[in-house]
Structure 1
Amino acid sequence: MNRRKGLFLVITGAIFWGIGGTVAKKLFQQYEIDIDWLVTTRLLIAGFLLLTVQFFGKDRSQVLGVWKNRRIAIQLIIFGLLGMLTVQYTYMASIQHGNAAVATLLQYLAPIMIIVYLIFRKHTVLTRRDLLTVSLALVGSFFLLTNGSISQLSVPTLAIVWGVLSGIALAFYTLYAVPLLKQYDSLVIVGWAMVIGGFALSFIHPPWQMGFTNLTLEAYSYLVFVIIFGTMIAFWFYIESLQSLLPKESSLLGSVEPLAAVLTTVFWLKEPFGFFQWVGTACIMGMILLLALKKRSFSDTSKPPENEEPLKVS
């Protein structure tokens, strides 16, 4: 049941991430909302909302109690700045210097980085299942975002650098959260990380400097969706999934994000959907099915299941 809950949380969170990105794109194009302002505002509001839910709905002592332990407080600040904020900023910077397709594709190098890190630290062994799931995730994301056109990957060097940094940040974000979650509720960790990241970014772009006027009711509803579903719930569900899934599994299942983004772009923004994008969809659905049918979860320090042999690397 815990594994099913983890699968539901990470897939739902990734779907909200993807849809939130499409909605944000509409805000940027149609209403000319500044990217830096949106990132700052959504982190601050979503973070405060998560902490409010924790305060009134669960163990309220954790909201401030997390700061009483100096070691945990330092870890939380590091997670907020190098995890939450860095994932947001590097991804947006890659989009700014290149395009969203390349930025998202490079960000999904994170599962490979996580698996390589765990193997290097001897926390896990490389299995054939790892190779298959990573391949399906990367190939699926590539076809979804480019429709098989290599020319769309021709971007400035800065876009590639920021994109790779985004993948590193996502890998760090996924791994660094695990020990924090063993001591405090996910609402507290994610909530404070968002507040810390949003506060730090406020020095670059204060949230009160909006730079836009005369937003319609429709635009405000898009803002609410991006903040509540595309940020608050998406990040919360992703982190919460780490309670019952391996970090490499959560990062792999996060590749549902580009699937949700492409599908909403096609059916909502009425953009065409090519043959290779359907191939990419099939790859990602196959990856999800492969992970969902896994008989049991095992920790990073344990041996793989009996039917999953380590891959010998010569």
Structure 2
Amino acid sequence: MSGLRARLQAIPTGSYAAAFCIALCATTFYSMKPVFIKLAFGHGASVDAVMAWRMALSLPVFLIIGIRAWRQREEKPKAAQIAEAAGVGILGYYGASYLDVMGLQYVSAQLERLILFCYPALVVLATAFIRRQPISRRTWGALALAYAGLGLLFGHDLQLGGANTLLGTALVFGSAVAYAGYLMLSGRPIASMGSMLFTAIAMSAACLAVLTHAMVFEGAAVSRISWGALGWMAAVAVISTVLAAFLQSEAIARLGAARASIVGSTGPLLTSVAAVFMLGEPFGLFHVAGLSLATAGMVVLSRKRN
């Protein structure tokens, strides 16, 4: 991780192309998460086991990076700043992650990723509301396209899954709302303490919250997991948690929350490709149409700041 940190810091801060690549890598790594988790479910892992092992394998890395980042700062963050970073991390990687993993029990990886794809739109809407700025017709049109695509795929899966699809969709949408809040709230602590230290504090706090939750509700049962499931959870921890979190924070620091969230528009496509080849999920006309509409909406939205 120190090598990754050095490489990121060596990239000129003003380079938009470099910042875009960092955001795209973060999106790619995050996009693999539902596929890895589905594969872990296939090996008998429970929701609490998935979350506990993901965080247990990630926590040592975040602690090491956090200690190094802390020592390198001449001006140490105040207690209130540390508490703010911890609270934001718990919101984004405890609250949002639990809702997401629970929802994945009931919906396909492709629908899950398309639902989470709503978070850039949620960021735009919330930002406009907070700043009391009117939303243009073009922006409303982009949002309509994005949600039409989501609605199309949701309607298709609803016919196949019924009530389970409704429950899973509600859970994952709640995750999208929580993650949008994480993106909006992370800007200030990142600016005050840097992306590396913020991510280490935020993720360490989330890891401890998840592990406490798992021990309270499942106890030692979370340790009983097959080697196959453990392997996929290691992939979630290293690729879709540690690397993705640091890259995402660096992208926010360089691009801002709104632009970084727009880069996530490639996420559903990446997830669909992985889900088809690794999980055997179907990919038909409904998937193509839904993905195309949602992506078109995000592309239009990315060209308009309000």
1:60 aligns with 2:68: no
Q: Is the 8 A contact 1:110 1:167 kept in 2?
A: yes
Q: What is the Cα deviation at residue 237 of structure 1?
A: 1.8
Q: Is the 8 A contact 1:111 1:248 kept in 2?
A: yes
Q: Is the 8 A contact 1:141 1:255 kept in 2?
A: no
Q: What is the Cα deviation at residue 239 of structure 1?
A: 2.3
Give the Cα–Cα distance (whole angstroms) in 2 for the partners of residues 108 and 33 of structure 1: 26
Identical pairs, percent: 18
Q: What is the Cα deviation at residue 227 of structure 1?
A: 0.8
1:32 aligns with 2:44: yes
Give the Cα–Cα distance (whole angstroms) in 2 for the partners of residues 162 and 271 of structure 1: 21
Q: Is the 8 A contact 1:106 1:160 kept in 2?
A: yes
Choose from 275, 283, 292 the match for 2:285. Answer: 275
1:232 aligns with 2:245: no
Q: Which residue of 2 aligns with 1:244?
A: 254
Aligned CA distance change for structure 1 residues 286 and 160 (closer, same or farther; 3 Å): closer
The Cα offsets for residues 154-198 of structure 1, whole Å up to 9 and x where unpaired, read as 436654543342222011100000001101122222222222122
Q: What is the Cα deviation at residue 41 of structure 1?
A: 2.6
Report the aligned-residue RMSD: 3.4
Q: Is the 8 A contact 1:111 1:134 kept in 2?
A: no
Q: Which residue of 2 aligns with 1:177?
A: 186
Aligned CA distance change for structure 1 residues 254 and 134 (closer, same or farther; 3 Å): farther
Give the Cα–Cα distance (whole angstroms) in 1 for the partners of residues 233 and 98 of structure 2: 19
Q: Which runs of 5+ in 2 are unaligned?
A: 1-13
Q: Is the 8 A contact 1:63 1:188 kept in 2?
A: no
Q: Which residue of 2 aligns with 1:167?
A: 176
Give the Cα–Cα distance (whole angstroms) in 1 for the partners of residues 301 and 125 of structure 2: 19
Aligned CA distance change for structure 1 residues 150 and 108 (closer, same or farther; 3 Å): same
Aligned CA distance change for structure 1 residues 140 and 82 (closer, same or farther; 3 Å): same
Aligned CA distance change for structure 1 residues 223 and 153 (closer, same or farther; 3 Å): closer
Q: What is the Cα deviation at residue 17 of structure 1?
A: 1.5
Q: 5 Å matches for 1:1-314?
A: 2-29=15-42, 31-53=43-65, 55-56=67-68, 60-62=71-73, 65-66=76-77, 69-96=78-105, 98-100=106-108, 103-122=112-131, 126-127=135-136, 130-131=139-140, 133-141=142-150, 146=154, 148=156, 151-152=159-160, 154-155=162-163, 158-206=167-215, 209-212=221-224, 215-216=227-228, 220-283=230-293, 286=296
Q: Is the 8 A contact 1:111 1:251 kept in 2?
A: yes
Aligned CA distance change for structure 1 residues 27 and 214 (closer, same or farther; 3 Å): closer
TM-score normalised by length of structure 1: 0.75
Aligned CA distance change for structure 1 residues 273 and 223 (closer, same or farther; 3 Å): same
Give the Cα–Cα distance (whole angstroms) in 2 for the partners of residues 233 and 247 of structure 1: 18
Q: Which runs of 5+ in 1 are unaligned?
A: 295-303
Q: Is the 8 A contact 1:259 1:281 kept in 2?
A: yes
Q: What is the Cα deviation at residue 241 of structure 1?
A: 1.4
TM-score normalised by length of structure 2: 0.77
The Cα offsets for residues 244-286 of structure 1, whole Å up to 9 and x where unpaired, read as 3242333333243332221111122333321232334444665
Instruction: Provide the secondary structure at the position in 2 that maps to 1:81.
Output: helix
Give the Cα–Cα distance (whole angstroms) in 1 for the partners of residues 28 and 17 of structure 2: 16
Q: What is the Cα deviation at residue 20 of structure 1?
A: 2.3
Q: How many residues align structurally?
A: 288
Instruction: Provide the secondary structure at the position in 2 that maps to 1:273.
Output: coil
Give the Cα–Cα distance (whole angstroms) in 1 for the partners of residues 19 and 300 of structure 2: 15
Q: Is the 8 A contact 1:32 1:212 kept in 2?
A: no
The Cα offsets for residues 205-263 of structure 1, whole Å up to 9 and x where unpaired, read as 138643535525xx554332211111111222222211232423333332433322211
